[in-house]
A and B are shown apart, each in its own frame.
Chain A
Amino acid sequence: MSDITSLLPCPQPVRFLDPDGSTTEHDPGTAATLEARGYSIPAEEDLLAVWRGMVIGRRFDTQATALTKQGRLAVYPSSRGQDACQVAPVLALGEQDWLFPTYRDSMALVTRGIDPVEALTLLRGDWHCGYDPVATRTAPQCTPLSTQIVHAAGAADGMRRRGTGGVALGFIGDGATSEGDFHEGLNFAAVFDAPLVVLVQNNKYAISVPLAKQSKAPALAYKGVGYGVRSEQVDGNDPAAMLSVMRSAYAHARAGHGPVLVEAHTYRMEAHTNADDATRYRTSEEVDDWTGQDPVVRLQAYLVARGALDEARIEEVREQAEAFAADVRTRMHAEPKVDPMALFEHVYAEPTPQLREQAEMVRAEIAGSAHAAHPVPETEEATR
């Protein structure tokens, strides 16, 4: 049994930087709590890496949205506004750690170093998962909500059993915390002391449904407490707080103290996907308000004020981001090459006889002479 006070999140989301980039004033009680939990503003060089990751990630995201308008992607769920949640937690992961992303987390995939075109394969529609999950230690982006959290718990436990020292990071949205698998995943990880960290990106809406209709919890972070899981809440638009809290969570899990649940308070600046009409359920005033809390602007202002960042460097990274986007654009404008016969390759290790027959049928259909080969043989052939 754990002591409940060690599990409870901070009463207010952890924050180090205010929206204008100045450092947050903490009352003595809060300052003591933050210190006791080992949270502090990360070193400048680490924050510079987060800033650069966000500039490139943001540009990637706006490029993907533009590609959708040009019909190059079937659909795109943007994470603009959630940049700090997408970048800081992933940069703080180690090589051996595993990431369990959702459909929303393309920016996180790019931050992980996954080729952007491979990251967009699912949404372009030429295959489901475009990258190698084993080589990248990144599970396929998960669409059935919250189901990835149980996988992440199992993977974390597997790493514990094998003694790899790795942790699993599971991403999830606020709405998906209502699904049963989220709760089962936390409970499993807690019972086995599995090194799992779950990051809830609370962007306030599940498509159209606001958080108030999703949960009566004082904060989603409290949902960990009932499972004996250390829990925390953080300002998800403060990259410094995100980095600090996630590092601490990984350290806790890696040390064998069990899973951690982190809730990041953030906002989805775009509609749910390009197919969604957000004006049906939220006001432009609300969106404007969050524009003023932009994580990239916030960190940049902090770093500039400290002299850690100057115009030249900003320009340099901006150019890198443009080059990155240009590369994505060029490669995404090429027609994807997909061989329909590839559909038959990975249903089983060995295709069933019936699947082989269907493959022959499709081959004949493509060749335009379908009558010759068909799954149901003529009577004489049926005895073969």
Chain B
Amino acid sequence: MSRPTTYAQALNTALRDSLTQDESVLVFGEDVGALGGVFRITDGLTRDFGEERCFDTPLAEAGITGFAIGLCMQGFRPVIEMQFDAFGYPAFEQVVSHVAKMRNRTRGQLTLPMVLRYPYAGGIGGVEHHCDSSEGYYVHTPGLHVVSPSTPADAYSLLREAIASDDPVVFLEPKSLYWSKAELELPTRTEPFGRAAVRRVGSDVTLITYGPQVPNALRAAEIAAAEEDWDVEVVDLRTLVPFDDETVAASVRKTGRAVVLAEAQGFAGMGAEVAARVSERCFHSLAAPVLRVSGLDMPYPPPILEHTYLPGVDRILDTIARLQWDDEPDLTHEAAGTQAVHA
């Protein structure tokens, strides 16, 4: 039966269902046992599945990650929690040199079906080291799937798929969305890895985003429609690796304009990758350069200044406004359908 479900509850249910259905699934990390995690994502799992299946580890992220690698070698499917984005950095060596490369190094003999869960990004008034958008490091590392669900349904479905995946998955959970709700019936299956979703259909401009910025994009789209008469299409990437070129390019060819919105600092980030791919594939459909909206190129600021850093609705609308609306010959819309596609 469908009922109001938070993003956090959807994750908790996904963990429960995976633990129930697959004996090789293990959940561990810092404070995931009695406390249920600092965000309560693992609430009740130790109670219901026992210490053998969901347990607290010593406080050491490199240890947690390396230990999970060893468990994979013995046929387990570990789901590990990094308490906050920036506290995953001590494990960086394990992630980049081992988690990402084991399949390749062993020609597929040894695979690492593990999920690394990271509460990530800002917008919750956290002090330093609690608000990083660290996806750039992971998407740049071949061998990792990188996922960031933006809805409770996706949180459930993508986590189930991540746990079932035979490749390691970096699973990025926007902290600001943990308490967001949807009417939902679980279990549910949404689109698989590698598919983006059009969250709002529009005809004038494509706003491409993911994770914590999806609600912001939708808000901006509503305001754009009401106040500026721009019909904004919002594409939620859902999975950053693999990347859905097809959905993104089809949308941009239709609208002829694109803005990429990512909360992370912009320089050499995920947004840059998306903008480049759109430019490469949709050049002849574009009426304006692809623009990016991002956080600022600086360490994440202290709580009181966080709103200055975060891409707000205004920064999005300002950027859309700069998409050369006035001098456009407006040929692009018609031309779009006939462009040669080199996707």
Residues of A within 8 A of B (CB): 74-75, 122-128, 143-145, 175-176, 178-181, 206-209, 213-215, 276, 280-281, 336, 338, 340, 343-344, 347, 352, 354-355, 358, 361-362, 365-366, 370-371, 374, 376, 378-379
Contact = CB atoms under 8 A, between A and B. Distances in A.
A371 B298 contact: no
B298 A344 contact: yes
A58 to B, nearest CB: 23
Nearest to B43: A280
A126 B63 contact: no
Given A123-B127, A125-B125, A215-B58, A280 B299 contact: no
Given A144-B89, A336-B304, A354-B267, A176 B59 contact: yes
A85 to B, nearest CB: 19
B62 A74 contact: no
B202 interface: no
Contacts of A180: 60, 62-63, 90
B305 A179 contact: no
B128 A208 contact: no
A371 B318 contact: yes
B59 A125 contact: no
A358 B308 contact: no
B119 interface: no
Contact of A207 (B31, B292, B303): B31
B35 A178 contact: no
A128 B315 CA distance: 25
Interface of B: 30-31, 33-36, 38, 56-63, 86-87, 89-90, 125-130, 267, 289, 291-292, 296-299, 301-305, 308-309, 314-315, 318-319, 321-322
Contacts of B297: 347, 352, 354-355, 358
A358 to B, nearest CB: 5
A209 B314 contact: no
A209 B56 contact: yes
Nearest to A376: B291
A213 B58 contact: yes
Contacts, number: 125
A207 B34 contact: no
A281 B35 contact: yes
Identify the interface centre among A75, A344, A358: most chain B CB within 10 Å of its CB: A358
A218 B303 CA distance: 41
A155 to B, nearest CB: 21
Given A143-B129, A144-B90, 15 more contacts: A122-B128, A143-B128, A145-B59, A175-B58, A178-B59, A178-B60, A178-B63, A180-B62, A206-B30, A343-B298, A354-B297, A358-B297, A365-B318, A366-B308, A376-B292
Identify the interface centre among B59, B61, B86, B314: most chain A CB within 10 Å of its CB: B59
Identify the interface centre among A347, A352, A354, A370: most chain B CB within 10 Å of its CB: A370
B302 A127 contact: yes
A122 B30 CA distance: 24
Given A123-B127, A144-B90, A145-B59, A370 B314 contact: yes
Nearest to A209: B56
Given A75-B127, A214-B59, A343 B305 contact: yes
Contacts of B314: 365, 370
10 contacts: A126-B305, A143-B128, A213-B57, A215-B58, A343-B309, A347-B297, A347-B298, A347-B299, A376-B291, A376-B322
Given A281-B34, A343-B308, A362-B308, A355 B58 contact: no
Nearest to A373: B318
A358 B34 contact: no
A74 B125 contact: yes
Contacts of A128: 127-128, 299, 302
A209 B86 contact: no
A124 B303 CA distance: 8
A338 B298 contact: no
A249 B92 CA distance: 35
Top 9 nearest A-B pairs (CB, nearest first) are A125-B303, A208-B35, A178-B58, A370-B318, A340-B308, A175-B59, A178-B59, A347-B298, A178-B60
A179 B60 contact: yes
A336 B303 CA distance: 12
A97 B296 CA distance: 37
Given A209-B30, A362-B296, A365-B315, A179 B125 contact: no
Contact of A125 (B38, B61, B267, B304): B304
A332 B231 CA distance: 46
A121 to B, nearest CB: 8
A179 to B, nearest CB: 5
Nearest to B126: A74
Nearest to B87: A144
A365 B297 CA distance: 16
B169 to A, nearest CB: 24
A355 B30 CA distance: 37
B127 A125 contact: yes
A370 B31 CA distance: 44
A208 B318 CA distance: 45
A374 B318 contact: yes
Contacts of A181: 90
B35 A144 contact: no
B100 to A, nearest CB: 20
